[in-house]
């Protein structure tokens, strides 16, 4: 049992005991005026039994003295002693009224007397429980109830503490909600929040491990080729020019990959540290599409751009330019020769007629990707060579779309992919007019 259990138990038990003791003490001190009828009857039965014993053992005089003393207490029930000839030896006339209890008793001198009281008494001979009996029984009930309630409240917190320690040890697969049963309260909500946090941490850690593996693999390939070129250069000095060119290309490849990794890392930290400026995104898209069309023309492809109006907002123009370039050039790379890429930009207005979102669609005419991989093409180092045509030459590191997604999400936007009706890939980007960081998840009140 933890400290919380004992704190809850102690305070609950103390509160119930104080309430119980206060109530019983009040009833005990105020006497029969406030006691329930059953307790008044029990007290009267005790007095009658005592008077009977005095008459039988000590005689009439002792009984008269005792009854007179009882009647002097205004909180005690009135008792009268009547001789066989009808004379009232002690007690008020009210004790001889209608109803009540009458008992015939033989005294020590052999004479018969009548004990009378105005309270109805069931003659059980049992004087009733003493004051300590309800006190002890109430304390035991309070003890049991406090223990159960303290256990009910502290048990899920102990489970949550165990789960937190497990995550701290690196076990991100730990989940705690299913251990809390079917209860519905704020502690269970906290357990659900913990499970979501653990799931997020698990995916982040697995993503980082996969990223490190992919980076090491991507670095190993050009380094291996550079080492091979250096070995050939040592063996065949006549191939110096060709080997130097090869080493230079691999060095440029490494430099390009490191640059993209730095860009991705900068976006992971947040684009808020990058200078922002007020630009027209539709005009920026037009310039990017024009450059991409010039490059695509050399390989027998085309880029068609369709847009109207303006969409002016404050953004990190360099970051968004890199994002749209990566998306459009990726489409140009995979669209079939003799076809083109359709880039469409449209301003979506709200009910007040103010343009608040920019929707950009980039559709190619390539082989597309498997439907189950649509959500994964924006992950770093993911290249679906096998999903493309056998003759497609795939260059790059699989970082372009990952950089694009980070850049767009850092401006509060969303990016997604879907299969086009003709079999190509359609990438859709949505940006708000007040482009800013994506809002954090809501906090619980």
Strand blocks (E) in 233-354: 277-280, 302-307, 312-315, 340-349
Span 357-383, mean pLDDT?
85
Write down the pLDDT at residue 440: 43
Of the listed ranges 33-47, 205-219, 249-263, 357-371, the least confidently predicted one is 33-47
Span 425-429, mean pLDDT?
93
What's the whole-number average pLDDT of the chain? 78
Write down the pLDDT at residue 122: 57
Residue indicated by tokens 């003791």: 21
Pairwise CA distance, residues 55 & 46, whole Å: 14
Joined tokens for residue 280: 């027209």
Pairwise CA distance, residues 320 & 403, whole Å: 10
pTM: 0.50
Write down the pLDDT at residue 441: 41
Write down the pLDDT at residue 183: 73
DSSP lists the bridge partners of residue 346 as 359
Pairwise CA distance, residues 296 & 128, whole Å: 104
For the chain, what percent of residues have pLDDT higher than 90? 13
Pairwise CA distance, residues 229 & 245, whole Å: 10
Write down the pLDDT at residue 67: 84
Number of Cβ within a 10 Å radius of residue 57: 11
Write down the pLDDT at residue 383: 61
Q: Are strands 277-280 and 312-315 parallel, antiparallel or unpaired?
A: antiparallel
Span 416-425, mean pLDDT?
88
Catalytic annotation present for 213 = no
Pairwise CA distance, residues 217 & 158, whole Å: 43
Active-site hit among 217, 365, 411, 422:
217
pLDDT digits (tens, 9 = 90+) for 294-353: 989 988 999 999 998 889 888 888 888 888 998 999 899 989 999 999 999 998 876 555
Sheet hosting strand 425-432, strand order edge to edge: 302-307, 340-349, 355-363, 425-432, 414-419
Write down the pLDDT at residue 376: 82
Positive or negative, the CA dihedral 367, 362, 401, 340 is positive
Span 24-40, mean pLDDT?
58
Q: What is the CA radius of gyration of the chain?
A: 46
* For residue 90, pLDDT beyond 90: no
Joined tokens for residue 144: 């049991």
**Residue 317: which of 294, 285, 345 has the closest Cα?**
285
Of the listed ranges 190-194, 400-404, 416-420, the least confidently predicted one is 400-404
Write down the pLDDT at residue 138: 65
* For residue 388, pLDDT beyond 50: no
């Amino acid at each position: 049992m933890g400290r919380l259990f004992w704190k809850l138990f102690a305070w609950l038990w103390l509160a119930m005991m104080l309430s119980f003791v206060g109530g019983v003490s009040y009833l005990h001190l105020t006497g029969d005026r406030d006691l329930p009828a059953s307790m008044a009857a029990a007290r009267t039965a005790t007095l009658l039994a005592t008077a009977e014993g005095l008459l039988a053992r000590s005689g009439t005089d002792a009984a008269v003295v005792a009854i007179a003393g009882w009647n002097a207490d205004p909180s005690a029930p009135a008792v009268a002693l009547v001789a066989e000839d009808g004379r009232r030896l002690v007690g008020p006339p009210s004790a001889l009224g209608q109803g009540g209890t009458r008992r015939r008793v033989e005294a020590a001198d052999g004479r018969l007397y009548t004990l009378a009281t105005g309270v109805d008494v069931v003659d059980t001979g049992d004087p009733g429980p003493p004051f300590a009996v309800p006190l002890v029984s109430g304390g035991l009930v309070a003890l049991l109830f406090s223990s159960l309630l303290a256990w009910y409240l502290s048990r899920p917190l102990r489970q949550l503490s165990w789960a937190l320690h497990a995550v701290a040890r690196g076990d991100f697969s730990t989940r705690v909600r299913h251990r809390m049963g079917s209860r519905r309260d704020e502690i269970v909500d906290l357990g659900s929040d913990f499970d979501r946090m653990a799931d997020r941490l698990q995916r982040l850690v697995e993503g980082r491990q996969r990223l490190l593996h992919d980076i090491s693999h991507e670095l190993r390939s050009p380094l291996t080729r550079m080492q091979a070129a250096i070995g050939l250069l040592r063996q065949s000095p006549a191939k110096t020019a060709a080997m130097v060119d090869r080493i230079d290309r691999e060095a440029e490849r490494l430099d390009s990959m490191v640059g993209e990794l730095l860009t991705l890392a900068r976006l992971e930290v947040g684009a808020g540290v990058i200078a922002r400026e007020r630009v027209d995104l539709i005009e920026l898209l037009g310039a990017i599409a024009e450059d991409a069309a010039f490059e695509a023309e050399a390989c027998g492809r085309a880029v068609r751009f369709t847009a109207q109006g303006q969409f002016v907002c404050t953004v990190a123009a360099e970051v968004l330019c890199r994002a749209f370039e990566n998306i459009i050039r990726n489409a140009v790379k995979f669209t079939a020769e003799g076809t083109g890429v359709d880039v469409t930009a449209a301003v979506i207005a709200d009910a007040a007629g103010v343009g608040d979102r920019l929707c950009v669609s980039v559709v190619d005419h390539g082989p597309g990707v498997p439907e189950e991989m649509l959500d994964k093409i924006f992950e770093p180092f993911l290249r679906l060579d096998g999903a493309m045509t056998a003759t497609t030459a795939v260059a790059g590191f699989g970082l372009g779309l990952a950089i694009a997604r980070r850049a767009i999400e850092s401006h509060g936007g969303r990016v997604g992919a879907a299969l086009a009706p003709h079999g190509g890939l359609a990438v859709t980007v949505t940006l708000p007019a007040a482009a800013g960081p994506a809002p954090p998840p809501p906090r619980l009140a």
